[in-house]
Structure 1
């Protein structure tokens, strides 16, 4: 049964009237986060259904302490029961008794990400993001898999029955690492990229209606793919099949349409926005609309398809230098919030995590796209590979919904990536460094390179990030 037919509404619905707030204990691993943690705090302040205790653990204790103070400020403006925030010094103290675990870490430093992008660029491989696939995503995964495996084992020891939400990229590989290190884990990967196409569809419907009647939360889509390379083959809004309208929208905007992040400044939009030309071109090529943003979609295909000329395709390459400046800005804002110098705002974000938690706690049902091991929800992809489709959240748990089959051609591309991601995870978990370079060389962004040149690039990238690698992977090149 398709996701759009499983609940009264995709991403909003069937939430019960809750007389008393639901108590929930949240362990936040990476609790010094400057992006996802403040977003969660604003969402909890806006929400009226949960009575949350949040324990923040971070390798940087000062960052966790700052965020605990910041969380206290958000609690002051709460619409419901104020959440309580506490920084804790160890994973055990964060995890014991937790109902929900949120994993949001930076695998390495921005300096490492700069090498992930800069070294391939010198070899003629531009990357728009560099955190999911391609050479940058591959080496980032090598750093991060052991970290996520360690977190999963700690969850198995201290919170084996907790629900676990992974927010860390590369999403597919790292969600797989949680399941591989602790097979009993109840974990899913959460990503907001599909929001982009849902926002477009709501805009189309509002233009037709002549008023702002619909939001992206009203749009139902059937999601198929792997993280950051997602597609939709059914779209519904208010009972109306929106695929014909979306097809007309794409045809009418052959020169592109601006896709930006609400509330962000012009510089952010220059690096993170797009004209959706990649999305529309993939629609023409495969007969199915792309759901993720163009910057991500482009990285799953050979350099010559889109990345060789991003200007032509209307998207930018996000420089690490901008990310570093943006991180400093976020840090300054967090410190000002924690110190009471600026006022927090209880505001609902685009993220689905709060609704997912409420549903898992018995507060109703909720459908959204998530990353889970394949149990047949995506046809033709091996069982156990991490795929992104819709799932039903309820008091019974997380139930993947059958998405169907991808179009021929597109299926082959996604199956190739899914197999490589699974093999990469297996090799790193087993410490089989010798298996890594062949996988690295098979990536569509790398496979055009002569083996000697690709191996030299891989060696430079391994050397640049060796401080974060286990000993048995340092000689992988």
Structure 2
């Protein structure tokens, strides 16, 4: 595989595409790669192609081939790697995920993993994933699918259950950036720490955190005890009570448990920004407009790497360079006390033989208990789509911790009906039924 073909699905997410390409072209062995960009929005696809060409020039990748494709199968044909960064429904669908639940008094901060927002983001993404899996099976059956699209665990479980693809891994930067932040907090260089994390995406746990054989949790405990502001973070509060630090931000973490968002006092104490993701949506839209205008005017763009896992995986697979990354894969015995069919986040070894998840064993019971609730909800959402069972959408919302803490069951069913109506044709036909309360 001298010059791999790398297909980007949803390449119109230009800012993320730029970061990934900057990482890819930082590897000399990948400067001759074929980058095939696909998006259904012609303007965004053109912007992505212009940005990719600019980054290739800036990174010394003059021999790279960059092509843009409105038709998905043309981009996929003969690909060695497929990077999925699609967001179905874009900004309008995201606003729906916040505005409709808000009318019921349901608070969300990010809304892309669990909760009503996560459920419907998954359900509108599944039809695309089904078609992507079919196309890959036909035109690039040996390719690795590297998924970044949220809700990560639900999407990877659906791909496994519904498409027959086996070379699938979900990638997220939460473990990496958590560990960089923790190392900075305890004033130890990141390169010198030893760590191990495992669990589920956005709710994994730092099981080991050391420096030259010294447990760094004790240093973290001292900092937390002396700093009131640190104690006003959800993830720190969870760490103090559960004994292990969660690998996602406080905004994310607050949504996956019943203890915080439903209580005004906790929202204030822990400074939770309700609806925070809508601000991120606006920032991303502004950044896209800036990129498009800069390219049109011939102005310079920042070309900065992002330390994402996909470029590292591609480089290791192409060159045989061994690495450890964190990936989201079907459990199948990797974590003993979580369901075998659930998707877990564990360390993965990567080299020219591919991606090999490593076995973790059993999580501490309090951590596994939370993760099992997460995976139970995921399973119901996936079953809703695979079995064409609209009642399972409601069952998933009933099981979701934050939703169940905020609403009585009759209102949960009414909310699901409203969300089904709001998303309409984005859902597969069998899931569009209104079931009442």
Q: Give the structure-1-normalised TM-score.
A: 0.85
The structure richer in helix per residue is 2
State which drifts further: 195-204 or 409-418.
195-204
Shift of 1:321: 4.7
CA shift digits 1:381-413 (9 cap, x unpaired): 111211111111111211111223222232112
Instruction: Look up the SS of the partner of 2:168 in the other structure.
Output: strand
Find out whether 1:173 has 2:154 as its counterpart. yes
Matching of residue 92 in structure 1 with residue 48 in structure 2: no
Aligned to 1:157: 138
Residue 237 of structure 2, aligned match among 281, 285, 288: 281
Q: Residues 252 and 81 (structure 1 numbering): CA distance in 2 closer, same or farther, change over 3 Å?
A: farther
Distance 1:244 1:30, change over 3 A: same
Contact 1:298 1:307 in 2 (8 A): no
Distance in 1 between residues matched to 2:295 and 2:59, nearest whole Å: 16
Note the C-alpha offset of 1:55. 0.4
**8 Å CA contact retained: 1:73, 1:337:** no
The yes-or-no answer on 1:49 pairing with 2:29 is yes
**Which residue of structure 2 aligns with residue 224 of structure 1?**
198
Match in the other structure for 1:413: 370
Partner of 1:387: 344
Tell whether 2:10 aligns with 1:23: no
The residue aligned with 1:428 is: 385
The 1:404/1:79 distance shift into structure 2, 3 A limit, reads farther
TM-fit CA distance, 1:81 = 5.7
Question: RMSD in angstroms over aligned alpha carbons?
Answer: 2.2
CA distance in 1, matches of 2:354, 2:278: 41
* CA shift digits 1:346-399 (9 cap, x unpaired): 422131221111112233111111110002221211112111111111112111
Task: Write the distance in 1 (CA, Å) between the matches of 2:25 and 2:268.
Answer: 40
Post-superposition offset of 1:83? 3.3
SS of equivalent to 2:345: strand
| Corresponding residue to 1:247 among 221, 233, 256 | 221
- Residue 390 of structure 1 aligns to a residue in which SS? strand
What residue in structure 2 maps to residue 141 of structure 1?
122
Counterpart of 1:233 in structure 2 is 207
- Whole-angstrom distance in 2 between the partners of 1:249 and 1:223: 21
Name which of 97, 112, 129 aligns with 1:131: 112
Provide the rounded CA distance (Å) in 1 between the counterparts of 2:103 and 2:177: 32
The answer as to whether partners of 1:41 and 1:71 remain within 8 angstroms in 2 is: yes
Q: How far does residue 76 in structure 1 lie from its aligned partner after superposition?
A: 1.3
1:147-191 deviation digits (Å, cap 9, x = unpaired): 212111111111110011001010111112222233233111111
User: Using the alignment, how far apart are the partners of 2:168 and 2:194 within structure 1?
Assistant: 23
> 5+ residue gaps in structure 2?
none
Contact residue 235 and residue 241 of structure 1 kept, 8 A: yes
**Is the 8 Å Cα contact of residues 28 and 103 (structure 1) preserved in structure 2?**
yes
Specify the SS of the correspondent of 1:391. strand
* 1:351-366 map, 5 Å: 351-366=308-323
Q: Note the C-alpha offset of 1:292.
A: 1.0
Provide the residue aligned with 1:451 in structure 2: 409
Q: How many residues align?
A: 432
3-state SS, counterpart of residue 79 of structure 2: coil
User: 1:476–1:26: structure 2 CA closer, same or farther, 3 Å change rule?
Assistant: farther
- Residues 14, 47 of structure 2: 8 Å contact kept: no
Q: Secondary structure at the match of 2:402?
A: coil
Give the superposition deviation at 1:419: 2.0
Using the TM superposition, name which of 178-187 and 87-96 deviates more.
Answer: 178-187
1:78 aligns with 2:59: yes
Gaps of 5+ in 1: 1-20, 209-213, 258-274
How far off is 1:218 after superposition? 5.1
- In structure 2, what is the Cα distance between the partners aligned to 1:431 and 1:25? 35
Equivalent position of 2:424 in the other structure: 466
| CA distance in structure 2 between the partners assigned to 1:325 and 1:373 by the alignment | 34
Is the deviation greater in 293-302 or in 308-317?
A: 308-317
C-alpha separation between the residues in 1 aligned to 2:28 and 2:214? 31
Alpha-carbon separation, structure 2, partners of 1:340 and 1:239: 54
Shift in alpha-carbon separation, 1:419–1:321, aligned structure 2, 3 A: closer
Contact 1:46 1:346 in 2 (8 A): no
Contact 2:331 2:339 survives alignment (8 Å):
yes
**SS of the residue aligned with 1:370?**
strand
Q: CA 1:174/1:79 → structure 2, altered by over 3 Å: closer, same or farther? A: same
Task: Classify the secondary structure of the residue corresponding to 1:393.
Answer: strand
Q: Which residue of 1 aligns with 2:249?
A: 293
